[in-house]
Amino acid sequence: MTDYYEILGVSRDASHDQIKKAYRKLARELHPDVAGPEAEDKFKDVSRAYEVLSNADKRRSYDMGSDPSAPGGGMGGGFGFQDIFETFFGGGQAQRGPIPRSRRGQDALIRLDLDLAETAFGVRREIPVETAVVCGTCSGSCCSPGTSPRVCDVCHGRGTVQRVARSFLGQVMTTAPCAACQGFGTTIPEPCAECAGEGRIRSRRTVAVEVPAGVETGTRIKLTSQGEVGPAGGPAGDLYFEIRERKHETFLRRGDDLHCTLEVPMTAAVLGTVVELQTLDGPEKLDLRPGTQPSQVITLKGLGIGHLHSTGRGDLNVHVEVQIPSGLSDEQAELVRQLAALRGEEHVDGQMSAAHPGVFSRLRDKFAGR
């Protein structure tokens, strides 16, 4: 049995890419237009070897001792149930004709880290990206300057070849992609040296992205046709930016609302005061009314996150925590006792009631490490 691995000059455990690379090198060297008519037989041997080893099923059959391309090989001779089904039910018809060398490129995804203020108000960022772009030397033709693709001498531009195979149904005609041109119908006799015949190269460029207000972690921004350029200068895919919002040291985001905690002395909560807060919009004065209670929430309208799909903004919710003093001096303790006496609170009988929902929220956040 012919040693196809030896013909291509690869090991028996060679990968598909290694086999493909070896074939392309030999095909260019042995093509009759390059090496002359005397190399035609060797060229056919190389093409037959690649046809078998590049197909997973045929390679498996070959490794088990059957040559799928050998005449009279029957079902092990390169003709299986898939070929029969396609021949009689039209599946093979869809594969006829040359494959376009130019194809759409892949989409690209880039993570974009933003601060809370940037997601709240929106921002314009200039992002360096590395993607495939059209080769400037060949303009996507894959050919060296001054040359052009050549019609394949094996399939004559059809991209497919037909062969007669024997099966239990008798002799049938099968159609398969041309191994000489990979189904493109044309060959590249002189590939572009800049892109190695790909029609595209890797390049670093800067992309401007407009981030709207209201985005959050997981939001994706799509830039149409800004992704990878396809092989042979094909249309570019899309470029996606996935937002990752950095944790803020003061504010906790819940949807479009912001939450923060304000700790105030007991005296300030009792007597009332005005506190200056540093918000995303700058300093804001917060009026604490006399008798402010622990865990009271004061809402500042419109100081939260901008709405993504509508106008307006969320709110800033300030959770007040009252600091109870400890380690009082004798004089301070006496003053507190006097206040308790004036309010008739020397002796207090506690009264139990149902827990407020906010208690459970705080416990949940505490155990969650928020």
- Please give the pLDDT value at position 78: 39
Q: Specify whether the CB–CB gap between 112 and 232 falls below 8 A.
A: no
| pTM, rounded to two decimals | 0.63
Tell whether 143 is in a known binding site: no
CATH number of 252-346: 2.60.260.20
Establish whether domains 1-73 and 252-346 are of one fold.
no
For residue 87, give Cα distances in angstroms to 91, 96, 159, 243.
Answer: 7, 12, 17, 50
What confidence score (pLDDT) does residue 87 get? 40
CA–CA separation, 275 and 264 (whole Å): 9
Beta bridge partners of 130: 204
> Phi and psi of 120, rounded to 5°?
-75, -40
User: DSSP E strands: which ranges in 104-199?
Assistant: 108-114, 123-134, 150-151, 160-167, 170-177, 186-187
Does domain 79-245 fall under CATH 2.60.260.20? My reply is: yes
**Residue 195 marked as a ligand binder:** yes
Q: Is 142 labelled as part of a ligand binding site?
A: no
181 is in an annotated binding site: yes
Q: Which of 317, 308, 310 lies closest to 120, judged by CA?
A: 308
CATH of domain 1-73: 1.10.287.110
Locate the domains of the chain by residue range: 1-73, 79-245, 252-346
Distance between CA atoms of residues 47 and 30, nearest Å: 10
What are residue 222's DSSP bridge partners?
240
Cβ atoms of residues 191 and 216 within 8 Å: no
**Splitting the chain (370 residues) into consecutive groups of 10 residues, what average pLDDT does each group show?**
86 88 85 73 86 84 71 40 42 61 92 96 95 94 94 92 69 82 92 93 94 95 94 94 95 96 93 94 94 93 94 96 90 88 77 56 51
